[in-house]
Amino acid sequence: MEKVNFRIKVLSRHLNQETSTPKFTLESFPCLSYKPPELSEPSAVFDIKEMRKLVDGHNLEDREWLFGLMLQSNLFNPMERGGKVFVSPDHSQSKEQQREITMRRIEYLLEHGVFKKWFTGEGPENELRKLAFSDCIGVFDHSLGIKLGVHLTLWGGAIQFFGTKRHHDKWLKATEEYVVKGCFAMTELGHGSNVRGIETVTTYDSSTGEFVINTPCESAQKYWIGGAANHATHTVVFSQLIIEGKNQGVHAFICQIRDENGDICPNIRIADCGHKIGLNGVDNGRIWFDNVRVPRENLLNSVADVSPDGKYLTAIKDPDQRFAAFLAPLTSGRVTIAVSAIYSAKVGLATAIRYSLTRRAFSVTPNGPEILLLDYPSHQRRLLPLLAKTYAMSFAVNYLKKIYVNRTPEMNKVIHVVSSAFKAIASWHNMRTLQECREACGGQGLKTENRVGPLKGEFDVQSTFEGDNNVLMQQVSKALFGEYVAAKRSKKPIKGLGLEHMNASCPIVPSQLTSHTMRQAQFQNDIFCLRERDLLERFAAEVALCQAQGKSREYAFTLNYQLAEDLGRAYSDRAVLHTFLEAEASVTSAPLKNVLDLVRSMYTLVTLEEDAAFLRYGYLSTDNAAMVRKEVANLCGELRPHALSLVSSFGLPDAFLGPIAFNWVEANAWSSEQN
């Protein structure tokens, strides 16, 4: 009841339009008053709702419902600032408190039917709805998103993908109803991205029909297992499977780790991973298995099984392929990481850009009025290219979602490559964007309640979990190499991963760039394709050279890491551009097309400006590079009038941004302090 009363107080104050009349008036200088950007900025030249539809892509109503669901509960920590209600997790709580409230938020979402049919529903529509929900949850709090992801995507996904009917029937409904709380024990102290090297060992005891799971040494302890430290009752354990003395590679087993009372099961030891630089709402733990026995049926046997008498049975003879099949659930993790990284960047940009449209500093004439931050070309250069990149990557992750929910077994490789590349570039982009946005907010960026600063800590983990970004990018280059070599060998045109452009003749970049040329989609596509093509050829040649010198292929890849990195980037940027062009092609409204044209040009040209590879390998002359730089500055000026409409089109409800994005004068007024 107390909570209800508090809520009513907050809401009625909100409804009651608290206009704080100062008890003593400060002399009112024009520069001290807050003017909402909605009033001071030119009105949108395109339909913001249409743009939002394009950027969010799907399930708009579901999103609004979930945002509203969070907004209407005290569990989401509503606070009033400057006459508006904001929700955000309270990062000043201890890690134990953050874990507890995260779990209670999950229970609230569960009670309100958010996870209904999570596994028991089917088809792309069901999957898109789930993805929309995780987008919104991630906008509120990354911990909440991850805590759910561990249970639903990783634990639930493992059972769904590695398990067979007996596992599905037993576990999936219980999982979406949170009757069991699952976790995903893959990473070990000694092995992270290199899953095949894990040291946990499982043997089979045919006399009892049980598997015996063991942690043979300290480096084999399971590490960073989300949910393990406090809440999980069950886990999927990844382990080497030894049958009749032969190691059959990594397999997955279901193992109970806590009983109904929440007490740790016999022969299981669990310790906390401790306080982290962010994501403290997730209870990451460490697990040791002391010859834990689980029934034979607990092997997730979609790719391999063990007969009651202890024979290893598998349909996939090649251990490499068997291992690849295991990694399938990680793909869905990478999809959500890439998407949530972009939503986080949107929160940062919407906040910093709105602030820059209301905050002034210095004047350029004696006694002249102070200038809005975003009217400084330098400030535009800091934020607007990141805004354009965020748009580009929104289209990219929407494409990734689309191919993921419509996946077929034949598409596994493509999805693996695209999700690896986009996960890496989106999470890097987010970290860079947040840092720039935090700095662009000045001191206000330091304030926890303004959200931008804490997001850096909360999202930092994305660059290393579910595959280290650098490792993922190397895998992308290796996959491109594989395609290239295979096509060469078979003397067939190259097909797949968007590399078909390599079958055509090499594009020519004009030696004298003009503003007009640079804004043509044709040119933009050409120069991105040129870079990708050339780097792939160089990479293949260098690897071949190393191999000719007797080095192994893997070693050759390792030695040529510089080209591999450049190639990974080249592939990602070109793939992003293609998704942008595809999204643009679906638009019919002319004003929308026009602004997207500007945004796409900004995305391409700022990439040309920033990536030294264009100069290094001579795709751009130094003269042309100077032209590009000038054009970026021009584009900043042209995008400036659309800045507000572009961040409004992100569709983030006000309550999920920081107070600094709105009336920061009133939010900081003395009278607000008194309430």
Partner 1 sequence: MAQTLYNNGRTDQVLVEETGSVRTFILNRPKKLNALSLQMISQLTELFYANEEDSNVKMIILKGHGRAFCAGGDVSPIFHNARQGNWKFGANFLQKEYTLNYVMATYSKPQVSILNGIVMGGGAGASIHGRFRVATEKSVFAMPETAMGYFPDVGASYFLSRLPGFVGEYAGLTGSRLDGADMLASGLATHFVSSDKLPLLEQALVKVDTSDPDAISAIISHFSHIPKLKEESHYHRMKIINRCFSRRTIEEIIFTLESEASDKKDNWISSTIQLLKKASPTSLKISLRLIREGRLQGVGSCLVRESRIAYHMLRGEFTKDCFEGFGAILIDKDRNPKVCYIHLNMDNTELRFREPLPFIYSSFTYFQWEPSSLELISDDDVDRYFSKIDDEDWEDLKLPPRSNLPPYAIAKL
User: Which residues here bind partner 1, judged by CB under 8 A?
Assistant: 4, 7-8, 11-12, 14-19, 21, 36, 38-39, 48-49, 52, 61-62, 64-65, 67-69, 71-73, 82-84, 111-113, 648, 651, 653-655, 662-663, 666
Nearer to partner 1 (CB atom), residue 67 or residue 557 = 67
Nearer to partner 1 (CB atom), residue 82 or residue 568 = 82
- 462, 427 Cβ separation under 8 angstroms: yes
Eight-state DSSP code of residue 177: T
Instruction: Write phi, then psi, for 86 (nearest 5 degrees).
Output: -125, 145
- 608, 9 Cβ separation under 8 angstroms: no
Instruction: Write phi, then psi, for 184 (nearest 5 degrees).
Output: -135, 100
Print the SS3 string covering 314-332. Answer: ECCCCHHHHHHHHCHHHHH
Q: In sequence order, what are the residues at sequence separation of 6 or more whose Cβ sits closer than 8 angstroms to the Cβ of residue 581?
A: 521, 525, 600
Print the SS3 string covering 432-472. Answer: HHHHHHHHHCHHHHHCHHHCHHHHHHHHHHHHCCCCCHHHH
DSSP structure string for 99-159: HHHHHHHHHHHHHTTTTTTTTTS-HHHHHHHHHHHHHHHHHH-HHHHHHHIIIIIIIIHHH
Least Cα distance to 538 among 546, 527, 550, 526 occurs for: 546
Nearer to partner 1 (CB atom), residue 113 or residue 637 = 113
- 329, 157 Cβ separation under 8 angstroms: yes
433 marked as part of a ligand binding site: no
Q: How far is the CB of 642 from partner 1 (least distance, A)?
A: 14
Encoding tokens for residue 332? 């869905």
- 144, 281 Cβ separation under 8 angstroms: yes
- 607, 632 Cβ separation under 8 angstroms: no
Least Cα distance to 373 among 345, 350, 389, 353 occurs for: 353
DSSP structure string for 324-373: HHHTHHHHHHHHHHHHHHHHHHHHHHHHHHHHHTT-EE--SSTTPPPEEG
465 phi-psi bin (left φ>0, alpha ψ -120 to 50, beta other): beta
187 marked as part of a ligand binding site: yes
Angle between helices 412-440 and 452-460 (to 10 degrees): 150
Q: How far is the CB of 525 from partner 1 (least distance, A)?
A: 33
Instruction: Give CA–CA dist 523/254, Å, rounded.
Output: 53
Residue located via tokens 């201890």: 94
Helix, strand, coil percentages, rounded to 5, for the chain: 60, 10, 30
Q: How far is the CB of 403 from partner 1 (least distance, A)?
A: 24
- 466, 153 Cβ separation under 8 angstroms: no
Q: How far is the CB of 110 from partner 1 (least distance, A)?
A: 12
DSSP structure string for 185-217: E--BSS-SS-GGG---EEEEETTTTEEEEE--S
227 three-class SS:
coil
Residue located via tokens 């960047």: 345
Known catalytic residue at 466: yes
Which position among 199, 466, 483, 666 bears the catalytic label? 466
Instruction: Give CA–CA dist 309/205, Å, rounded.
Output: 9
Q: How far is the CB of 176 from partner 1 (least distance, A)?
A: 15
- 637, 380 Cβ separation under 8 angstroms: yes
- 495, 463 Cβ separation under 8 angstroms: no
Residue located via tokens 């929407």: 398
Q: How far is the CB of 65 from partner 1 (least distance, A)?
A: 5
Which helix (H) or strand (E) segment holds residue 226: the answer is strand 222-226
Instruction: Give CA–CA dist 231/235, Å, rounded.
Output: 11
Instruction: Give CA–CA dist 259/265, Å, rounded.
Output: 6
Considering only the C-alpha atoms of the chain, give the largest distance between any 2 of them, rounded to a whole number of Å.
Answer: 91
- Active-site positions read 466
Binding-site members for FAD are: 187, 226
